[in-house]
Amino acid sequence: MIRTTVLLSSALAALSIVSSAARAQDAHAVFGAEPRVERLSNGLTVISVHTESPGIVAYYTLVRVGSRDEVEPGHSGFAHLFEHMMFRGTDAVPAARYEELLQSFGADNNAYTSQDFTLYTVTTPSASLPQVIELEADRFQHLSYTEEVFRTETGAVHGEYDTQRSSPMLPMWEALSEIAFSRHTYGHTTLGYLRDIEAMPERYDYSRRFFTRFYTPDDCTIIAAGDVDHAALMAAVRERYGSWRGRRDRPRVPVEPEPTAGARRHIAWQAPAQPRMFVGWRVPGFVSGRSARERRAALRTTAALQVVHGLAFSEPSPLYQHMVVDQHRALELGSWSNELSLDPSLFVAHVVLADNETFDPAIAEIQGAIDELASGVDAERLDAVKSHARYALLMELQTPSDVADLIARFVAVGSSLDVLYEYLEELRAVTVEDVSRVARELLNDRRRFVVTLSRGADPSADGPPTPSAEDPS
Amino acid sequence: MRRALTLGCAALVLGSCGGSQSGPREYPRMTEDGQGQSRDAAPLPREALADAPRLVTEPSASSIVTLRVAFDAGSASDPAGREGITMVTARTMAEGGAGELSFAELSRRLYPMAGTISAQVSRDETVFIGQVHADHLDAFYELFRDVLTRPRLSEEDFERVRDQVMNELAVDLRSSNDEALGKEALELALYEGHPYGHPAEGTVAGLRRLRIDDVRAHRDQELCAGRATIGIAGSVPEGFAQRMERDLSRLSSGACVGRQALPAPPSHEGPRVFLVHKPDAQAVAVSMGFAYDVRRDHPDYPAMVLAAAWLGQHRQFIGRLMQAIRGERGLNYGDYAYAEEFTQEGWSRFPVTNDARRQQHFSIWLRPLRPETAHFAIRLAVRELDRLVREGLTREQLDHVRTFLTQYYALYTQTASRRLGYAMDDAFYASSPAYVERLRAGWAELTPESLHEAIRRHLDPSRLTIAIVASDANELADAIASDAASPITYATTVSAEVTAEDREIVGYPLHIPRERIRIVPVSQLFER
């Protein structure tokens, strides 16, 4: 509770730093128009942005609940399960009718869940927007389903887990989360453990409580992008959501201590597989700090880390060129850039090695590339990465859905849309020193967590695989 | 212009362009035993080459420019014994050096623009896709052009790409992605002995046999101006299209030949099962379908798209299969049907464009099932298909699907890049008016009777091939062959309607005797 209040107040304080002119300029550069933001008295936030997309609108509902909120043991994957339940209807509009109506509009209707948020994504011809608003308002306030329906839907969640069971990436993510987080809920994946998924059918009552705890107006943001009229949108939203009441529950998410030593775990895979690994470093959350100054410093850190993704792991990077192109020692090398998180999380690189390659030299080489950044960066390369980031962002935004999704991702971890402009400002301002600092202070072996996978035992290991960190559930 | 001419001449030295001067190239003789499978005794005729590339434009004010150059050559053009060569050739071009630049240098030039150059290879098409912000079009275009007209095709780039493709085929597809494996298994079964009968990545034996000279010769023969369609979308300066046409027109060689005709897809009597035995599979992947003669230029294509959507529009809840298997029973994550080959674009719900084919198939995809429910779910899907063919749709059902599709397909063409892709597909099939417009007009004309007639003309469950990836292959094969009951239990009580329906499904006969069930170990899949 306290933590979020702090975040919110520092967000408000930071607002004054970004001048409105600069914000408008950034907004136009990114979206082609300045988004409009309003908040209803019940806490529901509405963001709209008109983009060139005749006849089509993305109507997204962001709920700031994700696997981060799964603090109770044995409940991993529950935020995701609940995302499924949101399609199971209300007394006024049963599930079949809800689908039938959305289908009659020709809407694309889906949702996804992450560590920090759940996003409901309707993209529809704009003529149907008033009806979509009515339907969405109804299900967010009056969701209703029986235990039988709940149990059936848990089968679909199990089925979703089954879609990924043949991939070595699933156990690798599970292992990386476990060894990097001994207390925090980032220690389990958003999909959840299989054992918890298998126990889901028995958790009907918990699911009902989940709805009242987290699906509240102060926890939600509506984002409408595309062919949308802000005034008409607001009138409809006020009418349909105005009487919605509720305050979000604030589960006590355990604080993860700063790492003092990294960890490593090997997965002996039964099926044929190239040797592959995740190398993750613990890094701060997207927004942290109490004062505006601290908050800006945190955004600068995130921006500098984003630059490191490009400098160290992009195709033109010396590491990629050496390991993949020149020496053919790796078949794939990359990193998960653009991953923003509320709490301290991981900066993750992934590598697929060629046959007969071992892990230790590859880890050393990756760490070596980071250490090199710690000792200095060529200014021209830094400019190239910044230019890439700018144009990649512009090219990412081609449809109303792209725009709504980007806004949702920033609002989810940054409290308000202004954080996007602040972040872009910090990205432009990243210096060689910033890059060196984050490489030195954050991307070092004391904060490094490695998961390796190959067919059979770890060829690099002298003894048995590293024991696992404390199982979070 | 001068620069372009100079570059064009330089390319001659590399042996990658230059009309009759470079002379026809031939594939080097195979040096290993086992010359690959011979598909046909008599060679099939080749089409005539066009005089120049076709041009398709999709003008828009968008500041994101998309360039697509599609060649009428895909993995079906792989010569027997060198399966995978088209994929390796295209990717060595897109992911290698070009002109004076090594791959490293080219990557460094592209990076600040966030420009992308990629190659997509399907059965009948290879498309190079370039995308860049209009701010950088000039600098980007020079790189894109060189990738197409002056690729280095160096030994180093080739070896790296071939190893990556080999890994994608022999490791990733075989062991790490059962959903994709099931779909490829279906195509393998449908098109055995046919040029479509191997994945675009090729075969293990074909890839092993490849040499850089093969790749260079293959490019000269297949990826040339007479088989190209140029596509441009977004805001480009005046004269840009003509410049691109001029540059690409130089992409010719005496070795260039027209596309070879396809044989008919293999036929078979009665439904059958192609079972991939994968000992470590934790779930069961299922794809089923049959080859048929409905392509986008067929008058019944809109009816088939509607029939497929009735069964299951990709990643939407509208379909009967989705409702019955996931919604009512919770047996898996999703169940869909397709009127033509469908490859999802990125994380979207829509198919990639520039994946046109001369022959098509109708298919149903059941996402992974728990082993104890697989036989039941297959029965359910076949029963739904049978019902569709037997009964067609009521007026109300038809209207519901038609209303959905008529609006929903607006989302298929949201970006200039996708509109361009569909316009190029229309050029491939020589069909007009534009794709979505044509579909809507076709749907508008349908009556329950005309739809039912079209369904009965084209959807024939007796020709069904069911591809399955499972760990207990023998057990499943015996169960299917015996048509033994496949009882089902749920984590909860289900409705009376579902219970009543289940009574029919658990014993629904598939009529597939053991001799029409083939079990193939996963280790042998894609081997040769």
Through-space distance between the first and last CA atoms of chain B, rounded to whole angstroms? 46
Q: Could you say which DSSP state residue A68 is in? A: G
Do B65 and B133 touch, CB atoms closer than 8 A? yes
Cis peptide upstream of residue B433 (ω within 30 degrees of 0):
yes
Rounded Cα distance between A424 and A427, Å, is 5
Q: Is A44 on the interface with B (CB under 8 A)?
A: no
For A412, what's the count of Cα atoms within 13 Å in the CB-facing half-sphere?
A: 27
Distance from CA of A394 to the nearest CA of B (A): 8
pLDDT score of B1 more than 60: no
Q: Which of B66, B91, B109, B111 best probes binding to A when mutated, by most A CB atoms within 10 angstroms?
A: B111
Which residue type sits at B526?
F
Chain B residues with CB-CB distance to A167 below 8 A:
176-177
Two tokens, residue A334? 């990359």
Do A266 and A457 touch, CB atoms closer than 8 A? yes
pLDDT score of B270 more than 80: yes
Mean pLDDT of B434-445: 98
Q: Report the run of H or E that residue B231 belongs to, with start and end.
A: strand B228-234
Q: Is B369 on the interface with A (CB under 8 A)?
A: yes
Which residue type sits at A298?
A
Through-space distance between the first and last CA atoms of chain A, rounded to whole angstroms? 23
Partner-chain residue, chosen from A87, A154, A167, that has the shortest CB–CB distance to B330? A154
Partner-chain residue, chosen from A95, A151, A274, that has the shortest CB–CB distance to B171? A274
pLDDT of residue A182: 95
Two tokens, residue B510? 């598939």
Q: Is B133 on the interface with A (CB under 8 A)?
A: yes
Q: Is A399 on the interface with B (CB under 8 A)?
A: yes
Q: Is A244 on the interface with B (CB under 8 A)?
A: no
B12 or B167: which leads in pLDDT: B167
Two tokens, residue B199? 């994945």
The residue written with tokens 């009487």 in the block is: A243
Helices (H), B313-409: 320-321, 371-391, 395-408
Do A276 and A252 touch, CB atoms closer than 8 A? no
Rounded Cα distance between B177 and B168, Å, is 10
- Measured CA to CA in angstroms, residue A284 lies from A406, A416, B178, B308 at distances of 21, 19, 36, 48
Do B429 and B295 touch, CB atoms closer than 8 A? yes
Residues 415 through 434 of chain B touching chain A, CB cutoff 8 Å: 415, 417
Residues 55 through 74 of chain B touching chain A, CB cutoff 8 Å: 61-64
Size of chain B in residues: 528
pLDDT of residue A227: 96
What pLDDT tens digit does each residue of chain A (473 aa) get?
233 333 333 333 333 345 677 777 888 888 889 999 999 999 999 999 999 888 999 999 999 999 999 999 999 999 999 999 999 999 999 999 999 999 999 999 999 999 999 999 999 999 999 999 999 999 999 999 999 999 999 999 999 999 988 899 999 999 999 999 999 999 999 999 999 999 999 999 999 999 999 999 999 999 999 999 999 999 999 999 999 999 999 999 999 999 999 999 999 998 889 999 999 999 999 987 778 888 899 999 999 999 999 999 999 999 999 999 999 999 999 999 878 999 999 999 999 999 889 999 999 999 999 999 999 999 999 999 999 999 999 999 999 999 999 999 999 998 889 899 999 999 999 999 999 999 999 999 999 999 999 997 776 654 444 433 333 33
Residue B144: phi and psi, rounded to 5, are -60, -45
pLDDT of residue A26: 80
pLDDT tens, position by position, B444-496: 999 999 999 999 999 999 999 999 999 999 999 999 999 999 999 998 889 99
The lowest-confidence range among A36-40, B1-5, B291-295, B505-509 is B1-5
pLDDT of residue B13: 27
Rounded Cα distance between A67 and A115, Å, is 5
Do B76 and B92 touch, CB atoms closer than 8 A? no
Rounded Cα distance between B76 and B196, Å, is 5
Chain B residues with CB-CB distance to A322 below 8 A:
none
Mean pLDDT of B8-26: 33
Residues 280 through 319 of chain A touching chain B, CB cutoff 8 Å: 310, 314-316
A312 or B13: which leads in pLDDT: A312
For B245, what's the count of Cα atoms within 13 Å in the CB-facing half-sphere?
A: 11
Put simply, the answer to whether A162 touches B334 (Cβ < 8 Å) is no
Two tokens, residue A205? 């009552």
Put simply, the answer to whether B369 touches A156 (Cβ < 8 Å) is no
For B337, what's the count of Cα atoms within 13 Å in the CB-facing half-sphere?
A: 25
Mean pLDDT of B360-374: 97
For B522, what's the count of Cα atoms within 13 Å in the CB-facing half-sphere?
A: 27
pLDDT of residue A28: 85
pLDDT of residue B42: 72
Q: What is the ipTM of this complex?
A: 0.90
The helix, strand and coil proportions of chain A, stated in percent and rounded to the nearest 5, come to 50, 15, 35
Which is nearest to A309 in space by CA: A384, A380, A408? A384
pLDDT tens, position by position, B391-413: 999 999 999 999 999 999 999 99
pLDDT score of B35 more than 80: no
Which residue type sits at A21?
A
Rounded Cα distance between B440 and A288, Å, is 52
Q: Is A360 on the interface with B (CB under 8 A)?
A: no
Partner-chain residue, chosen from A105, A325, A354, that has the shortest CB–CB distance to B103? A325
pLDDT score of B148 more than 90: yes
Rounded Cα distance between A131 and A346, Å, is 41
For residue A225, the SS3 value is strand
Q: Could you say which DSSP state residue B45 is in? A: P
Strand B64-71: give its sheet, edge to edge. Answer: B54-59, B228-234, B64-71, B126-133, B116-121
Helices (H), A220-333: 230-241, 292-313, 318-320
Do A316 and B108 touch, CB atoms closer than 8 A? yes
Residue A347: phi and psi, rounded to 5, are -100, 115
The residue written with tokens 């967590």 in the block is: A449
Two tokens, residue B381? 């899907």
pTM: 0.91
The lowest-confidence range among B32-36, B84-88, B116-120, B347-351 is B32-36
CA A88 to chain centre: 25
Residue B126: phi and psi, rounded to 5, are -125, 125
Partner-chain residue, chosen from B160, B417, B492, that has the shortest CB–CB distance to A152? B492
Q: Report the run of H or E that residue A148 belongs to, with start and end.
A: helix A147-163
Partner-chain residue, chosen from A123, A151, A316, that has the shortest CB–CB distance to B492? A151
Helices (H), B57-195: 85-94, 103-110, 137-149, 155-167, 178-190
Do A191 and A265 touch, CB atoms closer than 8 A? no
The residue written with tokens 């060629």 in the block is: A354
Beta bridge partners of A357: none
Chain A residues with CB-CB distance to B367 below 8 A:
159, 162-163
Residues 171 through 200 of chain B touching chain A, CB cutoff 8 Å: 171, 174-179, 181
pLDDT of residue B24: 39
Distance from CA of A321 to the nearest CA of B (A): 7
Two tokens, residue B232? 């441009």
pLDDT of residue B26: 55
**Pairing of the two strands A220-226 and A276-283:** unpaired
Do B517 and B480 touch, CB atoms closer than 8 A? yes
Rounded Cα distance between B311 and B330, Å, is 17
Q: Residue A41 burial (CB < 10 Å; 0-12/13-18/19+)? A: exposed
Put simply, the answer to whether A331 touches B282 (Cβ < 8 Å) is no
Residues 472 through 511 of chain B touching chain A, CB cutoff 8 Å: 490-494
Put simply, the answer to whether A316 touches B174 (Cβ < 8 Å) is no
Distance from CA of A34 to the nearest CA of B (A): 18
Which is nearest to A1 in space by CA: A287, A299, A218, A180? A218
Nearest CA in chain A to B491: A151
